[in-house]
Amino acid sequence: MADVPTTGRNETPLERADRNFSELLQELRVTQTGVQILFAFLLTLAFTPRFPDLDTFQRVTYVTTLLLAVLAAALFTAPAALHRSLFQQNAKPAIVRVSSRLASAGMIVLMPAFTGSVLLVVDVTLGRRAGIVAGAGTFLVCLLLWGLLPRVVGRAADRGATPPLPSPAGPESRSVRSPAGHPR
């Protein structure tokens, strides 16, 4: 048991696996909703009156984005299928490990799916150049929020610190104190 990382919790490895799987399922509930909405949106596009007017680039973007959304949905639902298939077979730690990897792969696939959907909509409404810029911006935002931010927060947590976040009211709001001298 010396190779098991400590979590600061008094739990057995199976309790930890149960907790980790529960937390993973909560994360998947959030992402699955977004993927389902994106997928439904993409499915309906092919049946709109304007769809036949799309050029080759737009059709390729549409089909690619649709397939990426399907793949993301499959990756995000795979942990439930895995759990169902291995239910009561003492495989929870393995289920958690594999499910975590599936969820990470789903997030990676979701980035270009979001990018493609924004690219397509902006391309159709404002033109190709605007679509490419909006798609690239979408990809960059996802990369920063889903890739860079977790690393920054993780490094800060390793040092025992929380990275400072800007106050919604501006820097002057940090110095406001209650009459007792405590920050509000």
Q: Does 3 map to a domain?
A: no
Q: What is the pLDDT of residues 119-169, one digit of tens each?
A: 999 999 999 999 999 999 999 999 999 999 989 998 888 887 666 666 665
Domain count of the fold of the chain: 1
Q: What is the pLDDT of residues 65-91, one digit of tens each?
A: 999 999 999 999 999 899 888 888 888
Using CA atoms, how far residue 27 sits from 51, 139, 141, in Å, is 34, 21, 19
Q: Does 4 map to a domain?
A: no
Burial of 121 per CB tally in 10 Å (0-12, 13-18, 19+): middle
Cα–Cα distance, 150 to 134 (Å, whole number): 24
Which residue range(s) make up the domain with 139? 14-161
Q: Which pTM was predicted?
A: 0.75
Cα–Cα distance, 21 to 96 (Å, whole number): 6
Q: Does 5 map to a domain?
A: no
Q: Does 97 map to a domain?
A: yes
Q: Does 152 map to a domain?
A: yes
Q: Does 179 map to a domain?
A: no
